[in-house]
Amino acid sequence: MSTNPSDTNENIKTENSSVPVSNKEQNQEESTNVVKSVDAQLSKESSQEAQSEQILEQSIPSSYQVLHQLSNRSTVNFNKSPSMTTSERERPTVKNTSLDYELQTSDDQSTTPINSINQINKAPETEHATSFATNVLSHTKRDLLDTFKIMKLATDVYDTLFIEELKDSISPLLRALAIRQKYMHHSFQSYPSTIENFLTKILQDDDQYQRTSLNVNLPKREESDPPTTTATKVEDPFTKPLLPPMDACVRVEKGTFRVYTLNEQKQWIPAKNKHITIDEFIEDYTLLSKMIIDGPLQSFCHRRLQYLKTKHELHTLLNEVKEWSEAKLASHTDFYNVQKVDTHIHAVASMHQKSLLNFMKKKMEVSSNMQVYKKPNGTILTLKEVFDELKLDINNIDIDQLGVHADRNTFQRFDRFNANYNPVGKMVLREIFMKPTNYIDGVFYAELLKEVIANLEASKYQHAEFRMSIQGKSMNEWDKLAKWFLKNKMHSTNVSYMIQVPRIFTYHRSSGQLKNFQELLTNLFQPLFDATINPESHPDLFRFMLYFSGFDSVDDESKPERSIIACYTVNPDQWNTSENPPYAYYLFYMYTNILALNQLRKSRGLNIYQFRPHCGEAGDVSHLSSAYILAENISHGLVLRESPVLQYLYYLCQIGIAMSPLSNNSLFLSYNQNPFLEYFQRGLCVSLSTDDPLQFHFTQEPLMEEYSIAAQIWKLSSIDMCEIARNSVLMSGYSDEVKKAWLGLHYKEPGIAGNDIRCSNVPNIRIGHRYEVLCEELRLLKLAYHSRQEEDTDVDTF
């Protein structure tokens, strides 16, 4: 079916679209009349995945072909005007939105809703979804034209000035999307369903070049759907029964744990699990490294990012009042009572400085005679004796003397930042008050963290993902941490835990605690595999593993390092020098072992883990290439502003970025130069986090402090902040059950179908805008792909 082209002299038009701003409850009742139409193939996930991977390998240009194309590419001739092929001349010069297509189709077809849906479902691109205008919106389509305005640009997708760069860019971009899809699937990490469907459907024949569907499969809302967020109870770890042991074992092969099972002949055979080799990773990493320095690809991605930012600004100008009107109809919901997750916070610095000082003073009053520290010579000191030996009077210590807050002297000085973790500059006080493993088994540390947790529980709508450290210097670190967690009952509905692994192999190797890098990997992962295979061997660890959600990799990224290309052939058991392995080396061996662990735990019906490293705070942009391939989401991402190619890929894949502007302001980048606002406007999935409240914040609610300063500096609206809060929940490590309670039962659905304004306070207008723009970018890539296929066919025919 053809579309009606508009006047080609009109560069920008506004077209009314159809996201209703009506009574909230009435809108929810109307959506219950949705007719659900799902493609039969999409219902079979396993077969679909296998078929999709096979199609991708056969149809999308291979890594070798893309590398060959990038290597042979010379300078771009900007003076050459690309010729228009027959298919390009036949296409209209005005891009109609998906919403326009829906409305026109509904007018041309029967007015019966069911017949209209059945006709629309015959279109190849809408086999997986029902009509956007018919199902998501209200009954009378033309009554919805006054809802909100969508920009329709006359010279956007089909501008011949950019078509050459677009065609040069399509093969690398498609291959990059397919690479991430492979790594995320193997490790059971998330990958957007919108991109999944795109990679599958782009390879199917499709005559409707003007159509990139905004159709979404809006599940029917039952009356039992929770109208507001409900508290999710966290079970007591002691109530979790231990699973029986399984007939399996693990062996280390070139730095990666491999699972072996017993067959009927009682022989150990490798489990049929997918894995990634270092050679395969280096091939993909090399391709991505070439992509980010390719001239035409950088130009194309830069233009698209600028377009995304400008279009959001235009959307705000046109629809801000209507967004506010829709938000106001959501009763009893505002920014203060939507769920917010601090997606990047270190437990050791989760309290503010005044809280730490008050806690130390309180302990001196009630526990001054308690034995708390054992000296290297074996002498045991009470808390009072420790302060006397340090010649400190707790009553005379103020915030300035405590010295744990970052200031201008820590800018570009990561060494001074680390030193600030020591109260009054004394390491012994840090060991007594801020470590889980010490002479008093971390009792003070647990009490201090419980004060922070109590504040979170009192706020009800604020949550935190505490990072706890495992250094990998010994095998018993895990058991000690698990014992501390269970003994002090550290579980809470408002707190989730992550494990951070410092990249300090150099220090452990120089001190003689480790002989090679493989020992570090063994200390990190062997206890986890053992506890999963035979929970009775590590009962506390088995229960603790149910309460942390992922792994982080932390350290100063600005340190100079060798490229992984120069040293990847060195196996971990051969890395026995004091030189620290490269960032990508750390990330790959953490990823590949998390992959094996996730596959084992998945087979036992247990929870699995995300990989969410610190990345892009400083250092080389290649760190972001590694994380793009291996990580579900990242923390910081400042360096992403230097690479338009990677930034565009992070946008397309909606990779979560937990940003901490106040932390960056004290360490690496001043607040007014922080790219957070630019990322947000362009549509990247960003959230606000605190990093280290002890060093960067002043109040008992550091996350709200972070939001309030960002809102004032960047003039964020309440809707902007609610969208950021929604992003924080989506990228967090909380379980699917918890996210359903916080965001709605259908939060995984793309676009408006996944939004429940009663939970998120984000208007459907905003969600619809984000989804529309993403689909337009995918349409652009699709058109380029088909155009290139036609050219290749013409050349072969000639």
Give dist(CA 254, CA 593) in Å, integer: 11
CA-atom Rg of the chain in angstroms: 28
- How far is C-alpha 376 from the geometric centre of its chain's CA atoms? 44
Give dist(CA 198, CA 204) in Å, integer: 10
Give dist(CA 432, CA 443) in Å, integer: 9
pLDDT at residue 657 is higher than 90: yes
Give dist(CA 646, CA 642) in Å, integer: 9
- Amino acid in the structure at residue 579: E
Q: Determine the average pLDDT of the residues in 513-521.
A: 95
Beta pairing class for 686-688 and 656-659 = parallel
Q: What b-and-e string marks burial along 712-725, b requiring 16 or more CB atoms within 10 Å of the CB? A: eebebbbbbbbbbb
pLDDT in tens, 572-609: 999 999 899 999 999 999 999 999 999 999 999 999 99
Burial class (CB in 10 A: 0-12, 13-18, 19+), 10: exposed
683: helix, strand or coil: coil
pLDDT at residue 95 is higher than 50: no
Share of the chain above pLDDT 70, in %: 73
Model's pTM, two decimal places? 0.81
Contact 529, 516 (CB under 8 A): no
Q: Which among 473, 474, 66, 547 has a CA at the least distance from the CA of 288? A: 66
pLDDT at residue 185 is higher than 50: yes
- How far is C-alpha 237 from the geometric centre of its chain's CA atoms? 27
Residue where the block lists tokens 């504040």: 455
Q: Hey, which residues does 635 pair with through a beta bridge?
A: 614, 658
End-to-end CA distance of the chain: 31
**Residue of 128, 636, 697, 746 marked catalytic:** 636
Q: Which among 240, 314, 330 has a CA at the least distance from the CA of 15? A: 314
Give dist(CA 184, CA 198) in Å, integer: 16
Contact 628, 173 (CB under 8 A): no
Q: Hey, which residues does 248 pair with through a beta bridge?
A: 261
For residue 357, the model assigns a pLDDT of 92
For residue 323, the model assigns a pLDDT of 92
Is 186 tagged catalytic?
no
pLDDT at residue 269 is higher than 50: yes
Q: Give the number of other Cβ atoms within 10 Å of residue 375's Cβ.
A: 12
> Going by C-beta distance under 8 Å and a sequence separation of 6 or more, which residues neighbour residue 266?
none
- Binned at pLDDT 50, 70 and 90, residue 234 comes out as low
Q: Where are the domains of the chain?
A: 12-225+275-333+758-797, 347-716
Give dist(CA 703, CA 692) in Å, integer: 11
> Going by C-beta distance under 8 Å and a sequence separation of 6 or more, which residues neighbour residue 384?
364, 368, 369
555: helix, strand or coil: coil
For residue 589, the model assigns a pLDDT of 97
- In this structure, of 401-405, 523-527, 533-537, 593-597, the range with the lowest mean pLDDT score is 401-405
Q: Structure tokens of 330?
A: 């959501």
pLDDT in tens, 124-135: 333 333 333 344
For residue 549, the model assigns a pLDDT of 94
Contact 414, 667 (CB under 8 A): yes
Residue 373 φ then ψ, to 5°: -145, 135
Q: Which fold has domain 347-716?
A: TIM Barrel (3.20.20)
Give dist(CA 523, CA 531) in Å, integer: 13
Helix (H) / strand (E) element for 500: namely strand 495-502
Helix residue ranges per DSSP H, 566-684: 583-603, 622-630, 644-652, 661-667, 676-682
Q: Determine the average pLDDT of the residues in 760-782.
A: 93
611: helix, strand or coil: strand
CA 635, 430, 395: angle at the middle one, nearest 5? 120
Q: Structure tokens of 107?
A: 């007018």
Q: Structure tokens of 395?
A: 């009553």
For residue 316, the model assigns a pLDDT of 94
Give dist(CA 131, CA 779) in Å, integer: 18
pLDDT in tens, 134-154: 444 443 334 434 456 665 554
Q: Determine the average pLDDT of the residues in 771-797.
A: 77
790 or 245: which leads in pLDDT: 245
Q: What b-and-e string marks burial along 655-676, b requiring 16 or more CB atoms within 10 Å of the CB? A: bbbbbbbbbbbbbbbeeeebbb
Contact 284, 63 (CB under 8 A): yes
Q: Hey, which residues does 553 pair with through a beta bridge?
A: 501
Give dist(CA 380, CA 340) in Å, integer: 44
For residue 59, the model assigns a pLDDT of 60
Give dist(CA 766, CA 323) in Å, integer: 7
Q: Give the number of other Cβ atoms within 10 Å of residue 270's Cβ.
A: 12
pLDDT in tens, 480-493: 999 999 999 999 99
Per-residue CA distances from 176 to 105, 180, 185, 394 (Å):
35, 6, 14, 57
693 or 40: which leads in pLDDT: 693
399 or 633: which leads in pLDDT: 633
- Amino acid in the structure at residue 775: C
Give dist(CA 664, CA 390) in Å, integer: 33
- How far is C-alpha 468 from the geometric centre of its chain's CA atoms? 19
DSSP of 43-106, one letter per residue? G-HHHHHHHHHHHHHHHSPPHHHHHHHHHH-----TTPPPPPPHHHHHS-SSPPPHHHHHHHHH
For residue 560, the model assigns a pLDDT of 86
Contact 658, 344 (CB under 8 A): yes
Q: Which among 623, 783, 774 has a CA at the least distance from the CA of 292? A: 623
Give dist(CA 157, CA 88) in Å, integer: 11
